[in-house]
Amino acid sequence: MNAQADTRAIRAYLLELQQSIVDALQAEDGKPFVHDAWTRSPGGRLEGDGISRLVEDGALIERGGCNFSHVRGQGLPPAATQRRPALAGAPFEALGVSLVLHPRNPYVPTVHLNVRMFAAQPAGQAPVVWFGGGMDLTPYYGFEEDAAHFHRACRAALAPFGAALHPRFKTWCDEYFFLPHRGEPRGVGGVFYDDFDELGLAQGVALTRAVGDAFLGAWLPIAQRRRHTPYGERERDFQAYRRGRYVEFNLVFDRGTLFGLQSGGRTESILMSMPPRAAWRYAWEPQAGTPEARLYSDFLRPRDWAAWSPATPIP
């Protein structure tokens, strides 16, 4: 396959992935997603097209989006060349699917998925292609069996590409989704990889498909298990407080958000990851011994979740 054929093939897969995820979520939530197709004409900073799919005020999902985009530009922005400075300013093509779900019930964790491919064309050189993506889980009230299920699904998705990949991508996720100014992780992690080309083009595409295809099996059983757990204003208030951390990370540190904004992407689609309700408090800490405090002591720290079992809990 040539590069153009590869792009067509992965575009077709990403559109299929977006549709399959939205179909499953609509069936679970009961409320249809808005379908918002957009195009960027040649001549601006970016050209290309995309489809934004969004639901708000659903029964399960208070706000969630699943976006597809395929854009081309004449100069890679800083967020995309952090580890590839030689490609700064090169013409590029980027396509991917990005998803964030903020559930209504505080006992259902927020979840993020992204799979993407970049291709740059530096002057006088062959195209440079790389991949990025992963998925991660952000609970408000932690359950060990939920974290273990999510991580085991991630591990199974990566298993065909070698046993070394999961622990590496798991650690990468723990290190990436970390708020240095707070000194805490965003959630319980999952897997993350970026600027990744070590497997070659064909296996890079296969890895992208494996991660994308694993998403529903990783998150949906958790949502089904927790969505009817009773909650009150206390839990909703803590959920809003922790969502504030999500906002901080996405607006300050997330490379995908920064790439979209720096490259002149579609702002409404880029910021669909923001929760509908968030809160901040000055110098607040949860009371010791509460479920809210247990999130910090037991969950917001790196752990080998895939190895967890009730009989041998991880210290």
Whether 149 is catalytic: no
- DSSP for 175-236? HHSEETTTTEESSSEEEEEEEE-TTHHHHHHHHHHHHHHHHHHHHHHHHHHHTT----HHHH
Tally Cβ neighbours within 10 Å of residue 238. Answer: 20
- Going by the DSSP 8-state scheme, the letter that residue 148 receives in this structure is H
129 phi, psi to nearest 5 deg = -120, 135
**207/197 Cα distance (integer angstroms):** 11
**75/46 Cα distance (integer angstroms):** 9
**174/305 Cα distance (integer angstroms):** 12
Catalytic residue among 112, 149, 151, 166: 112
The continuous run of DSSP H or E covering 133 comes out as strand 128-138
Residue 42: CB partners within 8 Å, gap ≥ 6? none
**135/161 Cα distance (integer angstroms):** 17
Q: What residues are annotated to the active site?
A: 112
